[in-house]
Amino acid sequence: MSAFIRLGLLSVFQTIFLLLLCNTCLATNYYVGTGIGDITGPAAQVNMMGYANPGQTSHGIHLRQFSRAFIFATSPTSARSVFVSLDACWSPGAVKQQVVKQLKLVYGELYTERNVAVSGIHTHGGAGGFSQYLLYDLTAFGFNQQNFEALVNGTLQSIHQAHKSLQPADIYMNSGELLDSNINRSPTAYLNNPEAERAKYKYDVDKDFVVLKIVDGAGKGIGMISWFAVHCTSMNNTNKLLTSDNKGYASLLFEQQLNPGALPGKGQFVAAFAQSNLGDVSPNTKGPHCLDTGLPCDRDTSTCNGRNEQCVAFGPGNDMFESTKIIATNQFNKALELYNSATIKLSGPVDFRHSYVDMTIQNVTLASGATVQTCKPAMGYSFAAGTTDGPGAFDFKQGSNSSNPFWNLVRDLIKEPTKRQSECHYPKPILLDTGEIKEPYLWQPQIVDTQLIRVGQFVIIVVPGEFTTMSGRRMRELIYNTLVQEGFPSDSKVVIAGLSNEYADYITTFEEYQIQRYEGGSTIYGPHTLDAYLQIYKQLAVYLAQGKPSPLGPPPPNQLGKQISLLPGVIYDLPPIGKHFGQVIKDVQPSYVQGSSVTVTFVSANPRNDLRTGDSFLTVMRKDTSGNWIPEYTDAHWETRFKWVDTGFILGTSEAEIVWDIPIGQQPGEYRIEHRGTSKSITGTKSAFIGQSSTFIVKTAQNIA
């Protein structure tokens, strides 16, 4: 054999070897798709969801809100699971129903109610009126179709993007401990849990921070999901700007890190800071103090001189914006640390189990052998007291097991609880007997989604409400032990994804329920709610581990055709006499220094005329060296604020105040601020407009004259 032939054969074998080696290097365990969609609701005149404060209406945007979707599969043709994290107060069941309905029209049975999980981060800074259940829409003056559609369409957009971007990927998990970012807002209820159980844990809230790192076949990052238990109540009930609060800002920080130069919501890398068992967990780490005296509140009732309105938790910053930034940055830094150091590679099937469950008729067998039953929904007195993150009104107090004759009289005008209902919820004194009211339609859900999502040895417990710290610990422990006993590897990891697929309020332990803090008063299916959920999810875990199907169960109602809305629409917009839409009222200064703020005011129109989904009401433009104007900031950035001011309700006049806080390291140069909006004429015709400020210079300290 000639040397030429030998060299040729050697070259062939080398090529085959390199190809095999390359394929081994690029071999992946999964296919993953990621996507993002804009779910920002009406930025004007719509009551915000979370604090149930009728006076907290939207008047602009601080941070746009997004839907972040992740699709998991083991091959392009295998069964898939979808996890979506919404920058919303929760994931309404009606939203999921509509999303799945639209997905089926496009993809058939590829995506259904069984393998799609939608979780909310629980921001208290979004527009309300998106639930099909009456109680949750009352303070928003009923159902808001525009906001509902924004949630549906943005969620669909994120899933469609994830479907299109499905690609070979590897997934790594990691976990750590995040301190100085959450406290227990109902410590007296937590202390009622068994001492032996509490002794197993170092803290009275979970400090666990869990991360999934997703990389493509070449090892490039394409996504990240984290779970950490903390309320998105850093922005308090005086805030009137739409915001995704601490978790939403953490997502923006992470995406900015991995999508350098991309505007929010426009990058390829998607980072979700999902919610977990946050029920009794506050971000306001300075704790509750009395506004009038500065002293700590009463520990048992969270009151000051007998009144709950004066007892408010703050911190860690000097105001709500600083506090939001600190808690968000803490989560971002921990997520980035765990993302960069993640080495535990997921392997194994992608799977799911799901059942609809009527939570009002669950028979539960307790450890003692006794059988008990859950209740129809009802809200307790301490629900009306609110929390230290957002106090209620009147003379309601947390931690009270007694009722009031006056409020009972008011309650009975709506619906007097039956004796059976009162006994079922004992020791909760019922303030609103929501489960026995069916007019004009159901006030709270009776049928909920229960679901497990599996990606290899990682399992997401998808729950329809707010589990407290100890409730979540019991759930995670039970599901982990069940899975391992049924053959799952011992290094399996389980997390709770809260406020998912529907909102069924809070879930406390039986012991916490006895104290009747806010969380206990809002545990709507009675004292054995947690035990019922534990029983249901354990059975789902057995089905999952054994490869057996789970029953579909009774489907939830569709009440969308019955919804009532008392919020009037936009009648018309008019500019002041002698002015036009987009005209500058208060212009910028000629120059600014890095670290200062720019403010400009325009003649505007009602933002409800056009939500500018996927766009922005404001843009900070920079002039590049070629003379082109480049968008640098939008209303989705932390550094900007879009404030809408109604200057004449009857006249239809309004203004837009736009603020840009110039970062210390902002590139010096020439800038201008643009405002885009849409006006509505008296005949109903809508017209887009644009306004521009004068140009101005951003200077460094060295350039100050």
> What pTM, to 2 d.p., does this model score?
0.94
Looking at the chain, the whole-number percentage of residues with pLDDT higher than 70 is 96
Q: Which residues, in sequence order, are bridge partners of residue 550?
A: none
Local confidence band at 702 (pLDDT 50, 70, 90 cut-offs)? confident
Please give the positions annotated as active site: 282
- Predicted confidence at residue 562, as pLDDT, reads 97
More confident residue, 401 or 19: 401
Contact yes or no for 437/421 (Cβ under 8 A): no
Local confidence band at 704 (pLDDT 50, 70, 90 cut-offs)? low
- Predicted confidence at residue 449, as pLDDT, reads 97
Helix axes 93-107, 145-164, angle to 10 degrees: 40
pLDDT digits over 464-501, tens only?
Answer: 999 999 999 999 999 999 999 999 999 999 999 999 99
Give the integer Cα–Cα distance in Å for 195 and 122.
30
pLDDT at 8 over 90: no
* Type of residue numbered 640: T
Give the integer Cα–Cα distance in Å for 666 and 668.
6
pLDDT digits over 352-380, tens only?
Answer: 999 999 999 999 999 899 999 999 999 99
The pair of three-digit structure tokens given for residue 116, joined into one six-digit string = 């799609």
- Predicted confidence at residue 23, as pLDDT, reads 39
pLDDT at 15 over 70: no
- Predicted confidence at residue 703, as pLDDT, reads 55
pLDDT digits over 231-267, tens only?
Answer: 999 999 999 999 999 999 999 999 999 999 999 999 9
Local confidence band at 583 (pLDDT 50, 70, 90 cut-offs)? very high
Contact yes or no for 139/46 (Cβ under 8 A): no
Q: Which residues, in sequence order, are bridge partners of residue 466?
A: 506
Q: What is the mean pLDDT of residues 432-452?
A: 97
The residue whose two tokens read 């203004």 is: 655
pLDDT at 455 over 60: yes
pLDDT at 11 over 60: no
- Predicted confidence at residue 25, as pLDDT, reads 39
Distances (CA, A) of 330 to 93, 100, 343, 663: 31, 35, 22, 20
578 Cβ contact list (under 8 Å, min separation 6): none
Phi, psi of 209, deg, nearest 5: -125, 120
Helix axes 245-258, 320-341, angle to 10 degrees: 50
The pair of three-digit structure tokens given for residue 123, joined into one six-digit string = 């921001």
Give the single-character DSSP code of 458.
E
- Predicted confidence at residue 649, as pLDDT, reads 73
Local confidence band at 217 (pLDDT 50, 70, 90 cut-offs)? very high
pLDDT at 1 over 50: no
Q: What is the mean pLDDT of residues 148-170?
A: 98
**Dihedral sign for Cα atoms in the order 428, 430, 435, 441:** negative
Give the single-character DSSP code of 138.
G
Asked which of 40-49, 404-413, 569-578, 630-639 is least confident by mean pLDDT, the reply is 404-413
Local confidence band at 113 (pLDDT 50, 70, 90 cut-offs)? very high
Mean pLDDT of the chain: 94
